[in-house]
Each structure stands twice: as C-alpha cells, then as structure tokens.
C-alpha cells in the first residue's frame, strides 16, 4: 500500500499513484523494517528535479520494478527540501561509499536496525545504459549481498559510522583570527575566473552568489558585475518571463536545467539591484535589456507568491514530461506570431536566426546580439528598436502563457522565504523603492503567523508546520531577514523576534563544547549523524549566516554573549576556512565583519521629515560597510544600547564602529562616516 497520498509535499504526492509501497520517513516505516529484518530503500529527491522524474517514469511507475522493490525492501520516499537533515547525512554517506559526489535522485540502501547505508547511488536507469546496470539488477544484487554477506555489511557500516562521527570534530582554532583565508580565497577566485563568460571556468556553471557577496563586501566588484552581465544575457535567464534557472549545463550560461528555485532568485535579486544601481542602467537603456531585478520581482509576484503572502518553493524543469518544453521555441512558431518588423528585431536579438541551441531542434532565447547593433544593421533608431522588441517580447510571452505550465512546488519553506525577504529588503534600499517592502512585509508576517509557534520556528509555514522542527538555516536566515527589514523600517515586534531567535541559536543549536552550530536542534530526532556544516551549498551556510547575524545584532543591542558566540563559531570553523576557504564564503563574510567591524548607526527621529533628512545624509556613505537603523521617537527603548535612548530636536545619530562609540551627532551635515572602510 502506498502511503504518500496525504503528505503535504507535492514531490511525495507525485509518487502517490506509483505501484511502489512508498512510506514517508516515519516511525512506523522504520519499525516495520526492523520487525521484518528487511533493508530500507531510501529515495531522496525534489519536485523540480529532472532526473528524479526520469527515474520515477522509468522505474517507480513500472509494475514489474515496483513489485521487486516491494518484495525486497521497505521503500521510503523523502523530499530533500522538507528533510534537509536526512539529505545532508545520506549525501555525505554516499560520498564516503562511492568516493564521488552525490545528487538527486539519491538512492540509498539502509540496514533496518541502525539505518546506516551499505550501498548508494543516484539515478539508476531501468535498462542498462550510460555505463550503468539496470535498476532491477541493482535491487536483486544489493538484497543478495545483505542476505548472504551480512558480516561484511556490518564491518563496512562500522567504518562508515566512524567516518560520520569524525565529521565536524576538528578542534577549534586557539590562535588569533586573521584574514589569511580571505586572501587565499581572493587568489583562488581570480585563478578560477572565466574571463570570457564570467563565473568559474568550465561546465556546468552555477551562480556562486555567496562568493559574489563576499567580493562585494571586499570592494571587488569588477568580476561580479561582469559575471552578472553574462548571466543576464544567457539562456539561464528567462528572457521573456524574468527570473533565473538553477544552473547552466554549458560554460556560456546558454542552456539551463530549466527548474527555477526560489533560493537562487532570492540571492540574485539584490546582486542585480546593486549592479543596476552601480551602472545607473546606462547599458540597459542602450541595449534595450529589461531591468533584471524588476524581472525577478515580476516573476516572483506572478508565479511564486501565495495568497498568504508567502513564497512558493520552485517551478519544475519539465512540462508534458519534457524538460524545457515550456521555455523553448521553434523558428516557425516565432515567425508566425510576430509581424515582419518585430521578427526582424527579435530574431537576431534572441538568436532565432542562428542554429538551434537546444537539443539540435529548438531555440532557448538569449541575448545573441545587442539591440543597438541590431538597430544599426536595420538602419533604425534605438527607440524604434526598443518599441518593436517590447511588442515582440509581449507577444511571445502571451503565447507562452497558453502552454502547459511546469509543475509548481507550493511548499512555503521558512529558510527560503527568509532569504527572499532579505533579498527584497536589500533591493528596496538599493533602488530606493519603499513600495517593494510590502511584498517582504507580507511574507514576513506569514512566517510569524504560520511558522512561528510557542516560541519555536518550524521549517515550513502552514497547518503541518509542527511536523518539521526548524533547522539552523531557518533560524539563521530568518534572523538575518529581520535585521535587513529593521534597516528598512523599525518594528518593535521584529526586534523582539530577532532577540528570541538569537537566544534560540545559542540554546538549541550551539555546540557548547567546540563552538559553532549544529544543523539540527538539541532535541531533534536522533539520526546516524548530527551535521555541523561550515561550507556553502545552494544556500549560504547556516553557520556563516548565524555568525554574521549575531555580530550585527550583538553590536546593535549591546549583547556581548552574541559577539562571544560568533567568535566561538569562527574559531570552530577556522580549520575549514584554512582547508577549503572558497567553499565557506558565508563564514568568510562573517570573519571579515569580525576583523573589520561594520559601522552601526542608530538614528532617533521625530516625524517623516527628520527621517528623510537623515536617510539622505546616510545615502551618501558607503552602505557596503554600514548598518543604519532609523527609530522613531515613539518606539521606546532599544534593549542594551543605552546611548540610543537619547533624543534631541531634529533627531540624533549614534555612531559605533564595533564596540567603539562616538558622541551623538545632532546635525546630519556633520555626520562623518568612513566611506572606504
């Protein structure tokens, strides 16, 4: 019997009609495996994963394969976005068993009593190809190994258990913290930079957003702006509908795997906003390129915003069982939709006049030729070219909207929502667009109402939230989002919430013996390993985000316990920073903030006019190194920062660099801030 029909995860429900007797990860399934002494087949994936769908269609929907799975195993299906703890652990185990990186779908065979994996792989084809055995053969051979070589399995598992236990046991650094890992990272980034297409050399090509954020922190914007420009021109960017796909399969950003994830766009949004502001949109105006940041926001509003105000998780890569079918075009289809003038612009600009770039038969639009060049070749002015391109783009978009849309994963995940809230808040400040804050406010209120219960944060918002206790990423990224929102507008609720989250990080997640933060809370379900991760993945590492947020909040409210916890985390992570610094850019950002403390400015004011005057004065400073908070007189006391309680007619600014505070300033014209720190 399949037990997935009532699950809240769209990914699990996609498998509810499989002839496989799937279970979710639950006590009942684990107990049944123990009672029957039957190995567990654990399959981990997510709804937007192309190869997860391929394996499902080939094997999980096949009656003969399903019968074999049911006979030989207790079959458990996991959504890696709901259970990132399980995914982290078993991806690491896969790496240890196979000596290569993992991915999705992840296919792991576990012993029924201790849940240690004794065989692991990713995608297995139904029939032998790609140099891989058929899945049915794998099923039989793995079960035969369990039945006939159990002593060997147990011996291997003992070694694996020791390996998992040793992860994260590196002793904390006792020497003075220094910027050597930052310098090493800059050297490695420069050596690996692709001067033709931006980003890292080679394929596949991912947007390394946390790395770009570190470069911007350090004032190294050139590589970032070049990479963003090449991404914006590429097929990884949805030229018609806005937003970005997960990654490009080639080195040119040309052909993506077409899934669109909330977390990628959450991180790219403020990066493009900053790049757009730095360039004053001159290049955009000259080429007719759409404003990339506003395109992401338009996509977010149109396709990813729930009635509750929260943001959905992802859009699938596939539609009608074909990857990319929603996004690609035939040349005849484009020609039939556009008039002659529009086609003359759109064809060279989007590359329809070139050879097909998708599977040898279709076109994924990209910026193949700058609009100014196209206009010149047609002997028309740029304004005319822009108008014709706008009509063509609108026509193509409207036609595309009539197609069957990719599947939507409508989970509202706390960490991913917090990342987008932070991105919107930063974008609103960068573009000086306060109306954007409404979108972030609604999402933040949704998290407060639907994922925050009885002093505890859950990993999902909604009625089933209590099934998924929050992970480190949820607490750290929500704390960071609150601080970003407080910089946009003051909220006593959000300050109080931020303080509770910081206390929870220390109480529920901190490794009190060695420093740093575990991925799961102290009272979380006991698993075969308890991760403590300093490296970035698709999201910046929870340790890096938590450390940086605790530094910022500690300086804001004058709480040295937060600063001390941040230092302990940096010391715990310093061995990782020495060994693989480029993989730990979020923690490097925190290290930079610790070694070179940010300037905190708290302005007390009375009325909109005073606030506007002070904001204008601060806008002249380098926001890269300044955290400014504007607190109205009626807001009351700010916990711990006694100096900031003072108020004078016309407003008063309190400036602190790290733990060093200057006398209050009452005249915005006299506000002296270090613009290059």
Q: Phi then psi for 280, rounded to 5 degrees?
A: 55, 25
Q: Mean pLDDT throughout 13-33? A: 98
Residue 464 pLDDT grade (very low, low, confident, very high; cuts 50, 70, 90): confident
User: Is 566's pLDDT higher than 70?
Assistant: yes
In this predicted structure, the answer to whether residue 74 has a pLDDT above a threshold of 70 is yes
Tens digit of each residue's pLDDT (9 = 90 or more) over 192-247: 999 999 999 999 999 999 999 999 999 999 999 999 999 999 999 999 999 999 99
% of the chain beyond a pLDDT of 90: 84
pLDDT band at 288 (very low <50, low <70, confident <90, very high): very low
State the Cα torsion 158-162-164-167 to the nearest 10°: -170
Residue 647 has pLDDT above 70, yes or no: no
For residue range 47-56, what is the model confidence (pLDDT) as tens digits? 999 899 999 9
What is the percent of the chain where pLDDT is above 70?
95
For residue 645, what pLDDT band results from cuts at 50, 70 and 90? low
Give the torsion sign (CA, 331, 335, 338, 342).
positive
Q: Which residue bears the tokens 């007797």?
A: 21
- Joined together, the tokens standing for residue 18 give 């499989």
Q: For position 287, what pLDDT does the model report?
A: 41
Per-residue pLDDT at 284 exceeds 70:
no
State the helix-helix crossing angle for 492-504 and 437-450, rounded to 10 degrees. 50
71 Cβ contact list (under 8 Å, min separation 6): none
pLDDT grade, residue 671 (50/70/90)? confident
Tell me: pLDDT of 463 over 80. Answer: yes
Handedness of CA 70, 71, 72, 74 (dihedral sign): positive
Instruction: Tell me the three state secondary structure of residue 640.
Output: coil
289, pLDDT greater than 90: no
pLDDT at res. 646? 65
User: 534 near 558, Cβ under 8 Å?
Assistant: no
Q: Which residues of 582-616 are buried (b: 16+ CB within 10 A; e: fewer)?
A: bbbbbbbbbbbbbeebbbbbbbbbeeeebbebbbe
Residue 176: burial class (beta carbons within 10 Å; 0-12, 13-18, 19+): exposed
Are residues 377 and 348 in contact, defined by beta-carbon separation less than 8 angstroms? Answer: yes
User: Is the pLDDT reported for residue 327 higher than 90?
Assistant: yes
More confident residue, 636 or 149: 149
Rounded distance between C-alpha atoms, residue 114 and residue 110, angstroms = 8
Pairwise CA distance, residues 451 & 404, whole Å: 32
Q: What's the whole-number mean pLDDT along residues 113-121?
A: 97
CA atoms within 13 A of residue 425's CA, in its CB half-sphere? 23
Closest among 433, 124, 93 to 276, alpha carbons compared:
433
Cα–Cα distance, 361 to 329 (Å, whole number):
9
Tens digits of residue pLDDT in 397-447: 999 999 999 999 999 999 999 999 999 999 999 998 889 999 999 999 999
User: Torsion angle of alpha carbons 535, 538, 543, 546, nearest 10°?
Assistant: 150
β-strands 106-110, 40-45 pairing: antiparallel
Per-residue pLDDT band at 322 (split at 50, 70, 90): very high
Q: How confident is the model at residue 130 (pLDDT cuts 50, 70, 90)?
A: confident
* Confidence tier at 649 by pLDDT (50, 70, 90): confident
- For 602, which DSSP code? E
Confidence of residue 650 (pLDDT cuts 50, 70, 90): confident
- Determine the pLDDT at residue 283: 47
Tell me, what's the pLDDT at 168?
67
Distance CA(41)–CA(109), nearest Å, equals: 5
Tens digit of pLDDT for each residue in 3-22? Answer: 999 999 999 999 999 999 99
Tell whether omega for the bond before 105 is within 30 degrees of 0, i.e. cis: yes
| Cα 446 to Cα 370: distance, rounded to the nearest angstrom | 42
- Using alpha carbons, select from 445, 403, 539, 426 the residue that is nearest to residue 484: 426
Which H or E run contains 298? helix 292-303
CA distance 652 to 537: 42
pLDDT at 144: 97
pLDDT in the model for residue 173 = 86
Place of tokens 């001067």: 195
Q: According to the model, what pLDDT value does residue 251 have? A: 97
What phi, psi does 286 have (nearest 5°)? -70, -35
> Is 437 in contact with 428 (CB distance < 8 Å)?
yes
End-to-end CA distance of the chain: 63
Residue 275's pLDDT is 81
Please state, in angstroms and rounded to a whole number, the distance separating the CA atoms of residues 295 and 629.
29
Using omega within 30 degrees of 0 as the cis cutoff, is the peptide bond preceding 46 cis? Answer: no
Q: What is the pLDDT of residue 542?
A: 98
């Amino acid at each position: 019997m399949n037990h997935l029909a009532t699950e809240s995860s769209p990914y699990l429900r996609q498998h509810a009609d499989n002839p496989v007797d799937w279970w979710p990860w639950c006590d009942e399934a684990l107990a049944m495996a123990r009672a029957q002494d039957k190995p567990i087949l654990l399959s981990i994936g997510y709804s937007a994963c192309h190869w997860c769908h391929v394996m499902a269609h080939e094997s999980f929907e096949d009656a003969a394969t399903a019968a074999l799975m049911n006979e030989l195993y207790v079959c458990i299906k996991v959504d890696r976005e709901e259970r990132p703890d399980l995914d982290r652990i078993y991806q690491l185990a896969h790496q240890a068993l196979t000596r290569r990186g993992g991915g999705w779908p992840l296919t792991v065979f576990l012993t029924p009593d201790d849940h240690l994996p004794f065989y692991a792989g990713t995608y297995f084809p139904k029939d032998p190809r790609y140099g891989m055995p058929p899945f049915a053969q794998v099923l039989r051979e793995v079960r035969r190994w369990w039945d006939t070589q159990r002593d060997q399995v147990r011996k291997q598992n003992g070694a694996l258990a020791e390996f998992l236990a040793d992860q994260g046991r590196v002793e904390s650094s006792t020497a003075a913290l220094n910027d050597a890992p930052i310098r090493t990272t800059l050297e490695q980034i420069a050596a690996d930079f692709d001067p033709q297409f931006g980003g890292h050399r080679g394929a596949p090509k991912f947007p390394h957003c946390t790395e770009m954020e570190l470069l911007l922190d350090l004032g190294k914007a050139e590589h970032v702006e070049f990479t963003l420009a090449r991404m914006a021109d590429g097929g990884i960017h949805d030229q018609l509908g806005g937003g970005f796909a997960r990654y490009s399969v080639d080195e040119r950003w040309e052909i993506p795997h077409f899934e669109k994830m909330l977390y990628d766009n959450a991180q790219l949004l403020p990066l493009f906003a900053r790049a757009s502001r730095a360039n004053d949109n001159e290049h955009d105006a000259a080429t007719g390129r759409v404003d990339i940041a506003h395109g992401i926001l338009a996509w977010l509003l149109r396709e990813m915003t729930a009635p509750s105000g929260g943001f959905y998780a992802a859009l699938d890569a596939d539609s009608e069982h074909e990857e990319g079918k929603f996004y690609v075009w035939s040349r005849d289809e484009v020609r039939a939709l556009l008039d002659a003038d529009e086609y003359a612009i759109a064809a060279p600009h989007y590359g329809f006049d070139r050879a097909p770039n998708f599977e040898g038969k279709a076109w994924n639009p990209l910026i193949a030729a700058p609009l100014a060049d196209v206009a010149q070749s047609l002997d028309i002015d740029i304004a005319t070219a822009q108008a014709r391109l706008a009509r063509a783009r609108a026509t193509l978009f409207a036609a595309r909207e009539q197609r069957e849309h990719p599947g939507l994963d409508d989970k509202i995940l706390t960490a991913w929502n917090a990342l987008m809230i932070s991105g919107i808040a930063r974008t609103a400040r960068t573009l000086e667009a306060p109306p954007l804050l409404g979108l972030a406010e609604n999402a933040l209120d949704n998290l407060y109402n639907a994922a925050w219960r009885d002093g505890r944060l859950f990993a999902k918002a909604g009625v089933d939230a209590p099934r998924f206790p929050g992970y480190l990423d949820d607490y750290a990224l929500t704390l960071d989002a609150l601080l970003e929102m407080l910089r946009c507008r003051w909220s006593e609720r959000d300050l109080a919430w931020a303080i509770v989250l910081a206390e929870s990080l220390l109480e529920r997640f901190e490794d009190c013996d060695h420093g740093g933060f575990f991925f799961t809370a102290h009272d979380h379900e006991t698993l075969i390993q308890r991760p403590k991760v300093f490296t970035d993945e698709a999201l910046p590492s929870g340790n890096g985000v938590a450390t940086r947020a605790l530094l910022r909040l500690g300086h804001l409210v004058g709480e040295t316990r937060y600063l001390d916890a941040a230092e302990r985390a940096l010391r715990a992570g310093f061995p990782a920073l020495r060994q693989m610094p480029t993989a730990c850019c979020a923690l490097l950002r925190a290290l930079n903030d610790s070694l070179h403390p940010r300037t905190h400015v708290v302005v007390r004011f009375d009325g909109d006019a005073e606030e506007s005057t002070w904001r204008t004065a601060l806008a002249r400073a380098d926001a890269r190194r300044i955290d400014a908070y504007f607190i109205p007189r009626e807001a009351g006391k700010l916990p711990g920062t006694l100096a900031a309680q003072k108020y004078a007619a016309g407003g008063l600014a309190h400036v602190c660099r790290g733990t060093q505070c200057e006398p209050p300033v009452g005249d915005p014209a006299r506000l002296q801030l270090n613009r290059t720190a």
